């Protein structure tokens, strides 16, 4: 595995592989890699000839009171894991390499839709930082395929919209959520959980599953489901950021005749903010149920 700290060095070697006719797969990360990240690398390796992984803790996507300074940096351990997985190129730039003119004067990439709701409502400016750095990384690597985890569902939707709007020639792939034994979505921030919290945080996944089951059984009062889910999280000792049932493509609040739905949730523990989601496709039986309800 080759490690690069500069854009020029990475580009030079990727260009040689591309000219050799090899396809390029890219997995952008902020490091502190866990099994979820490694699954993305494996998927990239299965689909492409060359796998590029970036590790960059992007300050532009962190708010004033967020955890950029304490975000775990575990580069040596991450590099060992990536080498074991067969990663070809590891890009590990510093802030000056990514933002050579400083963050204050950095040209920004703004996606005007889907960014001021859900996570964007509680993290102002977050998605502007995400789209800016992802756009830069895609232009640096110029991959054929880039793979992102579905756990950050809103982020994935925003990146897909950005790529479509800016005509960036890359195939964006969403990879399934990697979960722990009890259903908790794997996340670098799970390390912030206290011992007393860890057995209880599975409630976020459980409440999303409950919402899904209610919808599949014909329930269409989405607002009531969201309120009940919120209460369940609060009663479990956590502060709810949101539980929201949305159209999977647009992230608009779900309509009664939407067939592609995603239930998204976020909650605060003492030391972390956890997110998760579940998507479902309503089939013919569900459509008939909707029609019956509409006639009442």
- What is the per-residue pLDDT across 105-119, written as a single tens digit (0 to 9) for each? 999 999 999 999 999
In terms of pLDDT, which residue wins out, 64 or 136? 136
Q: Annotated catalytic, 37?
A: yes
Lowest-pLDDT range of 21-30, 113-122, 257-266, 282-291: 282-291
pTM over 0.85: yes
3-state DSSP of the chain? CEEECCHHHHHHHHHHHHHCCCCEEEEEECCCCCHHHHHHHHHHHHHCCEEEEEECCCHHHCCCCCCCCCCCCCHHHHHHHHHHHCCCEEECCCHHHHCCCCCCCCCCCCCCCCCCCCHHHHCCCHHHHHHHHHHHHHHHHCCCEEEEECCCHHHHHHHHHHHHHCCCCCEEEEECCCECCCCCECCHHHHHCCCCCCCCCCHHHHHHHHHHHHHHCCCCCHHHHHHHHHHHHHHCCCEEEEEEEEECCCCCECCCCCCEEEEEEEEECCCCEEEEEEEEECCHHHHHHHHHHHHC
**pLDDT for 63:** 78
pLDDT of residue 64: 62
Q: Inform me whether the pLDDT recorded for 284 exceeds 90.
A: no
Using one digit for the tens of pLDDT, what is the confidence trace for 135-145?
999 999 999 99
| pLDDT number for residue 4 | 98
Instruction: Please determine, for residue 24, whether its predicted confidence score (pLDDT) is greater than 60.
Output: yes
Q: Which two tokens stand for residue 62?
A: 């962190």
How many Å apart are CA 130 and CA 163, to the nearest integer? 13
Residue 294 scores a pLDDT above 60: no
292 pLDDT band, cuts 50/70/90, is: very low
pLDDT (average), residues 12-25: 96
Kindly list the domain boundaries of the chain, sorted by start residue: 2-175, 188-295
% of the chain with per-residue pLDDT over 90: 86
> What is the fold of 2-175?
Rossmann fold (3.40.50)
Rounded to an integer, the average pLDDT of 8-17 is: 96
Q: Is the pLDDT of residue 122 over 50?
A: yes
290 pLDDT higher than 60: no
Average per-residue pLDDT for the chain: 93
Per-residue model confidence as pLDDT tens digits over 207-233: 999 999 999 999 999 999 999 999 999
Residue 68 predicted with pLDDT over 80: no
Q: Which residues of 194-226 are buried (b: 16+ CB within 10 A; e: fewer)?
A: eeebeeebbbbbbbbebbbebbbeeebebeebb
Token reading at 76: 């040596």
CATH 3.30.70.100 is the classification of domain 188-295: no
Q: Does residue 258 have a pLDDT over 50?
A: yes
Please give the radius of gyration of the chain, using alpha carbons only, rounded to the nearest integer: 20
pLDDT at 70: 77
Structure tokens at 159: 């990146």
Query: In the predicted model, is pLDDT for residue 295 greater than 50?
Result: no
Sheet of strand 239-247, all strands in order from the earlier edge strand to the far edge: 239-247, 260-268, 273-281
Among residues 37, 126, 139, 256, which one is catalytic? 37
């Amino acid at each position: 595995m080759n490690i690069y700290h500069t854009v020029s060095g990475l580009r030079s070697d990727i260009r040689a592989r591309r000219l050799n006719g090899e396809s390029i797969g890219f997995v952008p990360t902020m490091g502190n890699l866990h099994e979820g990240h490694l699954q993305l690398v494996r998927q990239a390796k299965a689909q492409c000839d060359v796998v590029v992984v970036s590790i960059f803790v992007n300050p532009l996507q962190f708010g004033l009171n967020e955890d950029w300074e304490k975000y775990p940096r575990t580069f040596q351990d991450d590099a060992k894991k990536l080498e074991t997985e067969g990663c070809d190129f590891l890009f590990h730039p510093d802030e000056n390499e990514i933002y050579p003119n400083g963050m204050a004067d950095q040209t920004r990439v703004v996606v005007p839709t889907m960014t001021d709701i859900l996570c964007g409502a509680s993290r102002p400016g977050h998605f502007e930082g995400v789209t800016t750095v992802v756009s830069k990384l895609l232009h640096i690597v110029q991959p054929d395929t880039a793979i992102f985890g579905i756990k950050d569902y809103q982020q994935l939707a925003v990146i897909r919209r950005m790529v479509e709007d800016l005509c960036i020639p890359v195939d964006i792939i969403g990879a399934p959520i990697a979960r722990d034994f009890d259903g908790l979505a794997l996340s670098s921030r799970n390390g912030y959980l206290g011992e007393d919290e860890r057995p209880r945080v599975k409630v976020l996944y459980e409440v999303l599953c409950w919402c899904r089951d209610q919808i599949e059984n014909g329930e269409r009062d989405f607002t009531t489901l969201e309120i009940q889910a919120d209460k369940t999280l609060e009663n479990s000792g956590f502060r709810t950021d949101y539980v929201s049932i949305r159209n999977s493509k647009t992230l608009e609040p779900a309509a009664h005749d939407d067939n592609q739905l995603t239930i998204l949730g976020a909650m605060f523990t003492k030391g972390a903010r956890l997110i998760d989601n579940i998507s479902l496709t309503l089939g013919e039986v569900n459509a008939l149920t909707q029609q019956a309800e509409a006639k009442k």
